[in-house]
Amino acid sequence: MSKDQFVIGVDYGSDSVRSVLINALNGEEIASSVFNYPRWQDGLYCVPSENQFRQHPLDYVEGLETTIKDCLQKAGGTEAAKAVKGLSIDTTGSTPVAVDKHGTPLALTPGFEKNPNAMFILWKDHTSVTEAAQINEHATKFDTNYLKYVGGIYSSEWFWAKLLHIIRVDEQVRQSLHSWVEHCDWIPFLLTGGTDVKEIKRGRCSAGHKALWAEEFGGLPPDDFFSSLDPLLKGITSKLFTETYTADKAAGHLSQEWATRLGLSTDVVVGAGAFDAHMGAVGGQIEPYHLSKVMGTSTCDILVAPSAEIEGKLVKGICGQVNGSVIPGMAGLEAGQSAFGDTYAWFKNVLSWPLNNLLSHSKIIDAATASALKAEMAELIIPELSRQAALIPLDFDNELSIDWFNGRRTPDANQELKGAISGLGLGSDAPRVFRSLAEATCFGAKSIVDRFVSEGIPVKGIIGIGGVAKKSPFVMQMMADVLGMPIRIHQFKHTCALGAAMFAAVVAGIYPTVEEAMQAMGRGFDVEYYPEKANASLYQRRFKQYHDLGDFIAKQTAAKTSAQKLSNAIIA
């Protein structure tokens, strides 16, 4: 293979998009670039108190063009561009959008530019909790279990709940909607110059894990399943899809428009899209029965196993198991935590309230100094909390937290649940509370591992990927102690983007299989955390405390929900 065969991996995260230019020969990073979504940074179209999180498609489009062009410029411009053979993308999910007949997101069409319901509904948007609950109840009325491949519980973070909510609350969007498309499917369609919504190639990953597509059903559940749930959904399946594509298949070639915009050739092959954690698992060199944990704002945990070995096994309470969603020929099993880094970010924001709200009113320092001080303190808070928290002895009576600050994803999705902090006293300072939050996220990880094991799927090891895995030795060591198993940290910084680049190398024909691309382009591991056996017994006891407190919160939440339903019924 010539060394001038380059591929591009594009990774859309919750806060930013990053692109990497990779040498397909050995996985070497030639250049990388990150673009923070400007509208998202300004908090536009989001109402956190109502769990509404929307992203404008222009943030995605601008970031796509900016990062790829920046990578090429850093790599030498025209000569580097000539060497690019393939491009693949991953995104968060489920992050769908309403599109018109041309496949254009409604927010990019006249009249919808500032309508949040016409934008991408970010994965962590939980405005459709009611719809998810109705889907779960409705599914019990059918002889066929249409939720069997998504763990038996449908989530408000997913495709159908979000669609039903949007068409219920916004008649204008409902009347203009020609289809409902995942972010990871729209970007390849955009890059290949698609103009007909019916031609969008839907990824196996997003369809199987979030949209109830299954080989056993011959596609999506029948129209009757949806129309009997709500007449507004009648005929919706005819606007969607039957066929799906694994990420080693091409979506097409770069269109002339996008080739010109990016400075690339129309010979560049664009791959079918998938979710970030699934491509990240490949970038992190996943092995069968090893759990790949992509740890960012949330976690998405991926396990792969040969399809023949787990045939007939269904793991309840996870985010789905889909043949080919990660590596063709293997079943991809997904789990995760709805808040991980977001939990630490929430606590940081609580502590930063005076800086964010009072410092600008200071009569002692000028505005420029206040702004610089605010930025400096923001960078120091989490590292210093981690350092101080690591000095606190592990004790059975330490403060205890529950990590459901954005609901619970796995096991057993329930976005109505809330986080909690217990055992507080006058001696409870910021490092002690932070330690309990970190411990809670590790206990959440253990709950996932325990569910796989109890359902007959062994977990032989842990692979850590993402920002928290790379930046927080404190959290990673605690997680190794809590799980009682080593954690290998992948050395590549943008692992999800690297995974996308590996798929790009396959769709471009540089490697015949994902496994061969992974072997040739994998960059290995640079850190491994081993459990400290002396902490095992106490963490087991602390985990039981966590489990018991979580059960209490879940029962209280269920009782509150039942009381509210009864009250609504009486009023009606």
When pLDDT is cut at 50, 70 and 90, the band that residue 566 belongs to is low
Burial of 278 (0-12, 13-18, 19+ CB in 10 A): buried
387 and 279 housed in the same domain = no
CB atoms within 10 A of CB 378: 15
pLDDT of residue 572: 61
222 and 351 housed in the same domain = no
104 and 236 housed in the same domain = yes
Reduced to 3 states, what is the DSSP secondary structure of residue 17?
Answer: strand
Q: Report d(CA 134, CA 226) in Å as an integer.
A: 11
265 and 163 housed in the same domain = yes
Q: Helices (H) and strands (E) in the chain — how many of each?
A: 20, 20
Does residue 92 lie in a domain region? yes
Reduced to 3 states, what is the DSSP secondary structure of residue 420?
Answer: strand
Q: Report d(CA 192, CA 251) in Å as an integer.
A: 7
pLDDT of residue 565: 72
276 and 135 housed in the same domain = yes
102 and 244 housed in the same domain = yes
For the segment 177-194, what is each residue's pLDDT rounded down to a tens digit? Answer: 999 999 999 999 999 999
Rounded alpha-carbon distances, angstroms, from residue 241 to 32, 161, 207? 34, 17, 9
Q: Average pLDDT of the chain?
A: 95
Q: Determine the structural domain holding residue 375 and report its residue range.
A: 341-456+538-563
> Within its chain, how far is the Cα of 421 from the centroid?
25
Does residue 515 lie in a domain region? yes
Does residue 487 lie in a domain region? no
Mean pLDDT of 305-316: 92
Q: Report d(CA 72, CA 85) in Å as an integer.
A: 13
Residue matched to tokens 């217990």: 422
For the segment 57-99, what is each residue's pLDDT rounded down to a tens digit? Answer: 999 999 999 999 999 999 998 999 999 999 999 999 999 999 9
Give the tokens for residue 245.
């594509």
pLDDT of residue 380: 95
For the segment 126-141, what is each residue's pLDDT rounded down to a tens digit? Answer: 999 999 999 999 999 9
When pLDDT is cut at 50, 70 and 90, the band that residue 154 belongs to is very high
pLDDT of residue 246: 98
Residue 571 has pLDDT above 80, yes or no: no
Does residue 303 lie in a domain region? no
Could you tell me which residues come within 8 angstroms of residue 247 by beta carbon, excluding any fewer than 6 positions away? 88, 203, 204, 205, 271, 272, 273, 274, 278, 279, 503
522 and 542 housed in the same domain = no
503 and 544 housed in the same domain = no
For the segment 393-417, what is each residue's pLDDT rounded down to a tens digit? Answer: 999 999 999 999 999 999 999 989 9
For the segment 448-481, what is each residue's pLDDT rounded down to a tens digit? Answer: 999 999 999 999 999 999 889 999 999 999 999 9
pLDDT of residue 564: 77
Q: Report d(CA 35, CA 73) in Å as an integer.
A: 15
CATH of the domain at 379: 1.20.58
Does residue 296 lie in a domain region? no
Give the tokens for residue 36.
């923070």
When pLDDT is cut at 50, 70 and 90, the band that residue 257 belongs to is very high
pLDDT of residue 158: 97
Q: 349 with 405: CB under 8 angstroms?
A: no
Does residue 77 lie in a domain region? yes
Residue 570 has pLDDT above 80, yes or no: no
144 and 24 housed in the same domain = yes
Listed residue (165, 160, 121) closest to 139, CA to CA: 160
Residue 1 has pLDDT above 70, yes or no: no
499 and 555 housed in the same domain = no
Residue 544 has pLDDT above 90, yes or no: yes
For the segment 480-499, what is each residue's pLDDT rounded down to a tens digit? Answer: 999 999 999 999 989 999 99
Residue 569 has pLDDT above 70, yes or no: no
Q: 295 with 277: CB under 8 angstroms?
A: no
pTM over 0.85: yes
The total domain count for the chain is 2
Does residue 320 lie in a domain region? no
Does residue 474 lie in a domain region? no
pLDDT of residue 311: 86
CATH of the domain at 166: 3.30.420.40
401 and 496 housed in the same domain = no
99 and 223 housed in the same domain = yes
Mean pLDDT of 516-540: 96
